[in-house]
Structure 1
C-alpha cells in the first residue's frame, strides 16, 4: 500500500494499538507526502515531524519505505526537483506504478481542505493549481505560513486509486458548501477528481451548510 499524508490531523491512534499494530503487514506500506513545508524535519511546522511523532514512530514501517523531503535542500525549487526525481526512481524500480496518463499512482491519499478551499499546497489565486506537467511543484508565497512549500500537482492527486477527504470544523462549512453544493465551483478542492474513489468524511459542523 502506498499512503500519502497531507497536513490533516488524521486519527491513527487505533493503528498503533493491538490488534492492528501486530496484524497489519507494515512492510508493505510506503509513505509519501502530498505537500511539505520547506523546513527542517525537527521543526514543529514539519508535516514529517507531525507524522513521525503521532504515527510513524509507533509502527514498524521500514525506514526505506518512507519518502520524506530532503531538508538539506533550502531552496523550495531544489526540494521539489529532488522529491520528483526520487518518485521517478521509485517508478523506474517498479515500486510505484503509473496511471494511464503516466503520473505516479498511489493507493490512498489522505487529504484535508482549508477554509479557502485549498488542498495540499494548491491555493486559490496561485498558479500551482494549474500545473499539468510536473509531478511536484513548489510555492514561495503560501498564504498560510510558513510560505515556502513543495506540493503534489493535481495530475498526481487525481491519479490516486482512492482519496479520503477529511474535513472537520464549522470554519470549513462555507468551503464545503461551495465545493459540494455549487455547480462548477472554482475552488481548488473542486478539482479533486481521482481516477478511483473519492470519499468525503465530514463532521456535523463542517456539513452544516449542505
Structure 2
C-alpha cells in the first residue's frame, strides 16, 4: 500500500489546456536534463490529451531525444477516425521529430500487432529487475467509470500479471481494446493523470475516502509512489 499523500495540481482559473501543457513541458525539460539517452514516454488516448499535446508540440525541446509509445488503442486501423495513435499523430506527432510507436500496424492482425509492439518495447525501453519495462513517464486519463488505460471494470486484463500488452474484451462497450497492463504501468518511474469534469472530481473524492468501489485506477493510486493528478 502506498502511504504517500496524493499530489494534486489544478489549473483553477487558468485555461486547463494551457496549464497542463506548461506543466508537461516543465516535466519534459527535467527529463531532458537528467537523461543522457532516450526518454521513453507512454501516452493515453481519448480526447482530453489532444488539445494539450497540440500546444505542447510548439514548445522548444530536443524532441529527437524522446520515444513516444501508446498506453492503449482501439481495435481499428491507424487511418480510422477513432484511432488513438492516428488522432495523437495529427495533434502532436506530426509536429515534432520524436520517434513514435503505434500499437496497431496496418496489414497484419491485431494479435500480430500486439506481439510486434511488445517486442518493440523490449528493444527500446529498459527492463527492470522484475522483468517489466520501466518507462520514464506514463500519461494516463480516467473515465467516468474509473477505468484508466483500457483497464475497464470487471475485465480480464485487470488480472494479467505476465504480459506487457494485451487485447482486452470490454463487454460493456461491446468491443475490444489493446492496453498496457498493470505491471508495466506500475513499473513506470512517474505517472501523471489528466482529468477534467465534475464526474471525475467525484471519483477522485471517492478514491481517497472510500474502499467500497470498483475503480480500476485505484490499484495504481494505492500502489504507485510517484503519481500526480493534473485537474481542472
Q: Same fold (TM over 0.5)?
A: yes
2:217 alignment counterpart? 189
The 3 A distance-change label for structure 1 pair 41 and 155 is same
Alignment of 1:47-86 (within 5 A): 47-61=84-98, 65-69=99-103, 70-74=105-109, 76-86=110-120
For the 8 Å contact 1:118–1:188, the answer to whether it is kept is yes
> What residue number does 1:27 align with?
64
1:90-109 CA-to-partner distances (Å, cap 9, x unmatched) read: 2xxxxx11223121000111
| Contact 2:140 2:192 (8 Å CA) reproduced | yes
Counterpart CA distance in 2 for 1:51 and 1:125 is 28
1:155 equivalenced with 2:192 (yes/no): no
Aligned pairs for 1:90-129 (under 5 A) are 90=124, 96-129=125-158
More helix by share: 2
Q: Does 1:12 align with 2:53?
A: yes
Residue 184 of structure 1 and its aligned partner are, at CA, apart by 6.6
Normalised by the length of structure 1, the TM-score is 0.82
1:178 corresponding residue in structure 2 = 206
Structure 1 residue runs of 5 or longer lacking an equivalent are: 91-95, 204-210
Segment drifting more, 166-175 vs 136-145 = 136-145
Structure 2 residue aligned with 1:39: 76
Which structure 2 residue ranges, 5 or more long, are not aligned? Answer: 1-38
- The 8 Å contact of residues 156 and 169 in structure 2, kept in 1 or not, is answered as no
Q: CA shift at 1:56, angstroms?
A: 0.8
Deviations 1:60-104 (A, max 9, x none): 22xxx2111223333x433322221222232xxxxx112231210
Aligned alpha-carbon RMSD (Å)? 1.9
Give me the whole-angstrom Cα distance separating, in 2, the residues matched to 1:35 and 1:142. 17
